[in-house]
Amino acid sequence: MKKTMLAASLCLASGLVWAEGELQEQAAFPFTTVVAPSTKVTLELDKNTVKATLPGWDEQVLFDIEPLEGEEAGRYPVAQVGDFNFDEMQDIAIQDGIGYGGVNVFYRVFLWDDKANKLKEFATPISNPVLDGEKQTLVSAQRSGPLWYSTEFRAEKGKLYAAMDTEMIPFGDAVLDYVVFKNAAGKVTGTKIVGESSDDQSVDYAKAASATATIQVDKAPLYDKPDSAAKTKMYVIKGDKVTLLDWKAKEGGFGEGWFLIRYQGKKVIEKWLESSSLSQG
């Protein structure tokens, strides 16, 4: 994820198109796009209101925005056009805010409904959209402090759902990626913590090996839950190697939290321990 996010921020800074051949930038209102065969939609800004002129000259009011002013005006595309839900029709993402010094560009996505002959807003705002037509994924990513967070959306019968959430975890001198997998019903189907290999933007998180770590304290107590009150009589010792399975951050502690670990001894143990007990490798 890290190289992908870095490339994304560089694209924003330079004004380049996010994903060549996938998204078409619209620099200013008004603009017209073909959303379906022989079907055009024109977007314009009426004072602070974004309006769409639909086939048959019907008008659809989308939402009110605060246009950028000064140096920010014209620096970022007002909209991105692409097939966001992979139904072979063009949809429109309209800018709705800038954050973190221009690194995060937020959009509201409007999907073209050919049966209703109008645009329908997707419930989740998108940040720095990246479309991959081959994999049929839409990635929304944003930076908070030094870390990136992303959601990968997939489509099932034309409906987008959050299939994978990824966040960076500071871990010593390295950064791990914590990945949560979900199905179309929103149920969590698995978690994984991936190490340095995630620098490769083509990495398949589902197939990537889970990260490992080494116990760095003399005795690290194990817990049934990520809670200091759930301490067991079990422990691992300095030098033991463990596999990282799950993660829960501690409130107010940057990079501090709990790891669910697997330890292979005389028997397999899966318990929680505090992240401060671990080092890389």
Residues 6+ apart with CB under 8 A from 83: 89, 90, 91, 131, 133
How would residue 240 be classed by pLDDT, with cut points 50, 70 and 90?
A: very high
What is the value of pTM for the model shown?
0.86
- Give the angle subtended at the CA of 105 by the CAs of 102 and 110, to the nearest 5°: 165
195: pLDDT confidence band, cut at 50, 70 and 90?
confident
Alpha carbons 246 and 238: distance in angstroms, whole number: 21
Give the pLDDT confidence score for residue 242 in this predicted structure: 97
Residue ranges of the domains in the chain? Answer: 2-199, 212-280
Query: How many whole angstroms from its chain centre is CA 19?
Result: 16
> Letter for the amino acid at 191?
T
Using DSSP, state whether 11 is helix, strand or coil: helix
3-state secondary structure 57-82: HCEEEEEECCCCCHHHCCCCCCEEEE
Task: Say how many CA atoms lie within 13 Å of 242 toward its Cβ.
Answer: 30
CATH code of the domain made up of 212-280: 2.30.30.40
133 is written with which tokens? 């037509």
pLDDT at residue 66, rounded to an integer: 85
For residues 194 and 208, is the Cβ–Cβ distance under 8 A? Answer: yes
The confidence score (pLDDT) of residue 19 equals: 39
CA dist 18 and 98 (Å) reads: 16
Map tokens 């769409």 to a residue: 52
Question: What's the pLDDT score for residue 264?
Answer: 93
Q: How many CB atoms lie within 10 A of CB 143?
A: 21
pLDDT tens per residue across span 14-44: 333 333 448 999 999 999 999 999 999 999 9
| Res. 199 pLDDT band, cuts 50 70 90 | very low
Q: What is the pLDDT of residue 94?
A: 97
